[in-house]
Structure 1
Amino acid sequence: MADSNIDEIGPWSEVKLDIIREYAQAYSQILSAQKEPRLYHIYIDAFAGAGVHLSRATKEFVPGSPLNALNVSPPFAEYHFIDIDQARVDSLQQVAQQRQNVFVHEGDCNQVLLGKVFPRVQYKDYRRGFCWLDPYGLHLDWKVIYTAGQMKSVEIFLNFPIMDMNMNVLKHDPESVPSEQAERMTRFWGDGSWKSAAYSTTGNLFGYEEKLDNETVTKAFRERLLGVAGFKHVSKPLAMRNSRGAVVYYLFFASPKPVALRIVKDIFKKHEKNL
């Protein structure tokens, strides 16, 4: 595995990996134990990376989410790892170790999820999916999130990339936002309503648009996950902060099941003291 394929990650990302690992473990235990009807459960990692990371703090290797998922016991019935980078895909093939129930996909996850993976997780077929959406920035299509919500068989963890948004889209002067950046935001958000979620003309004397805070933006997106995508249960987002205290991204969880949200709330509470 070439070192150039391995991302160096900060402590906040190590916490994120722990959260995903702990929930995947709980999810697989619960679904494996169900007998009437027996369910077939699938793990999906849309931005899988190389399968391993380098800790910025310790300079030691840290198992990535694909490797953590493969170590869950009882195991998932099936695994899907997706990455757009050929070198990372080659590394994932090594992580998979030729296991027949592990599928490694090279390509844009938006196309792979909708065309190849989600069709394998149909509710009517007693199949269920745990999908980890960890984009590096605004690289996710709302249609993926919407489809997962409508399927009623898929739960998601979602990296909400607020730093990318703030750096490139949600500028204090909305007129200065380049059109290509606004288009990226619209693709992620699903429509142009992000503008009214992020800006307001109230509270000032002159009627000009003012940028709203992160909490207001994430609250509006949570309402979209519930009201538009159709997830029945959505967590309040967990702020993932870097060593300087700045929010890098927010971690959302969305599910059709109330028990799933209760488990995630407990996991979030356990880890938020480390952020």
Structure 2
Amino acid sequence: MTSREMPFDQIGYWSEVKIDIIKEYAAAYSKILGAQKSPSLYHVYIDAFAGAGLHVSKTSGGFVPGSPLNALLVQPPFREYHFIDLDKQKVATLEALAKERQDVRIYHGDCNRVLLDSVLPQVKWEAYRRALCILDPYGLHLDWKVITEVGRMRSVEIFLNFPVADINRNVLWRDRRGVSPEQTRRMNRFWGDDSWKQVAYTSSLQTELWGPPAEEKASNEAMAEAFRKRLKEGAGFSNVPKPIAMRNTQNAVVYYLYFASHKPVAEDIVQDVFAKYCDRGAT
């Protein structure tokens, strides 16, 4: 069966960068937590939008291991792996790649429900369980309730995709009167409420003749900083470094990759990793 017949997503250069960032931090995370003995911690890896485990590179045309497959190769290994996806074919392919490993749990379903009902309850702080969770939605498919629950638990660190391309395409129109109620609901669900509107639009100093003040749409950078603030103040994460922008071949930002944790040392490690990759230009 060819790659075109398999459920593998084609990914661009910056998605490969994102995978490398997560791979590098996951290795450091597992090494640190695996070495801790007093108390001993049971650390797990969670990928909420796991996909098929492999991708096809738009740059080379070859296969690129996805975050789940990279995580399975980390040494020392995580104690458990939880992979979730809504696409049945991708789940089946991921199951084949996992090769019936006893430390892997694969779920077919909406990650918002699976995380809240089945996975997050298994990584409680008081049970000495910790987790690294990858929240990499294809668009505005994540529920803020998941983010706030993770922030409340204090036992989970996250990498989070803020899908600014989806937001700009479907929600942040210059004339917001044309945005459908469904798209507004999607944004509210991801952001947690409609306070994003206060950030996204500001009144222009110029006023149209005989009309109301014109509105100006906020920049991607302004939206990204507002969401970073929301992760800290709304979800309660203590340590949220500035995100790294992921771009397409036209150098337009497609999404921002955030990291959020309650550990200062974790933020220090991620800032070093981000700095290593943020200036790595496409060739």
Superposition TM-score, scaled by structure 2 size: 0.95
Q: Paired residue for 1:252, among 258, 262, 283?
A: 258
The equivalent residue for 1:73 is 75
> Which secondary structure does the structure 2 equivalent of 1:209 belong to?
strand
Q: Paired residue for 1:170, among 163, 172, 178?
A: 172
* Larger displacement relative to structure 2 (177-186 or 197-206): 197-206
Q: How is 1:91-102 mapped onto 2 (pairs within 5 angstroms)?
A: 91-102=93-104
Q: Paired residue for 1:225, among 228, 231, 242?
A: 231
- 1:194-234: per-residue Cα shift (whole Å, max 9, x none)? 10011111533352322111111111111110001000000
* Larger displacement relative to structure 2 (42-51 or 88-97): 88-97
Is 1:211 paired with 2:213?
A: no
> Which secondary structure does the structure 1 equivalent of 2:159 belong to?
strand
**Preserved CA contact (<8 Å) 1:173 1:210:** no
Counterpart-to-counterpart distance in 1, 2:232 and 2:214? 30
> Which secondary structure does the structure 1 equivalent of 2:46 belong to?
strand
Counterpart-to-counterpart distance in 2, 1:215 and 1:41? 34
> Which secondary structure does the structure 1 equivalent of 2:6 belong to?
helix
- 1:21-47: per-residue Cα shift (whole Å, max 9, x none)? 000000000000110000000100000
After TM superposition, give the deviation of residue 243 of structure 1 in Å.
1.3
Counterpart-to-counterpart distance in 2, 1:51 and 1:122? 27
Q: Paired residue for 1:190, among 178, 192, 195?
A: 192
Amino acid at match of 1:180: E
Amino acid at match of 1:63: P
Amino acid at match of 2:236: G
- 1:74-129: per-residue Cα shift (whole Å, max 9, x none)? 00000000000111110111121111110000000000000000000100000001
Counterpart-to-counterpart distance in 2, 1:203 and 1:183? 29
Counterpart-to-counterpart distance in 2, 1:257 and 1:40? 17
Counterpart-to-counterpart distance in 1, 2:234 and 2:251? 32
Percent of paired sites with the same residue: 59
After TM superposition, give the deviation of residue 262 of structure 1 in Å.
0.5
The equivalent residue for 2:48 is 46
| Unmatched tracts of structure 2, length 5 or more | none
Poorly superposed stretches of 4+, deviation over 4 Å: none
The equivalent residue for 1:24 is 26
Is 1:35 paired with 2:37?
A: yes
Counterpart-to-counterpart distance in 2, 1:217 and 1:199? 10
Counterpart-to-counterpart distance in 1, 2:50 and 2:141? 13
The equivalent residue for 1:6 is 8
Counterpart-to-counterpart distance in 1, 2:126 and 2:181? 42
After TM superposition, give the deviation of residue 176 of structure 1 in Å.
1.3
CA RMSD of superposed structures (Å): 1.1
Counterpart-to-counterpart distance in 1, 2:63 and 2:197? 41
The equivalent residue for 1:112 is 114
Q: Paired residue for 2:269, among 263, 267, 270?
A: 263
Superposition TM-score, scaled by structure 1 size: 0.98
> Which secondary structure does the structure 2 equivalent of 1:49 belong to?
coil
**Preserved CA contact (<8 Å) 1:237 1:253:** yes
- 1:39-74: per-residue Cα shift (whole Å, max 9, x none)? 000100000000001111111111011100000000
Task: Count matched residues.
Answer: 275
After TM superposition, give the deviation of residue 274 of structure 1 in Å.
1.8
> Which secondary structure does the structure 2 equivalent of 1:240 belong to?
strand
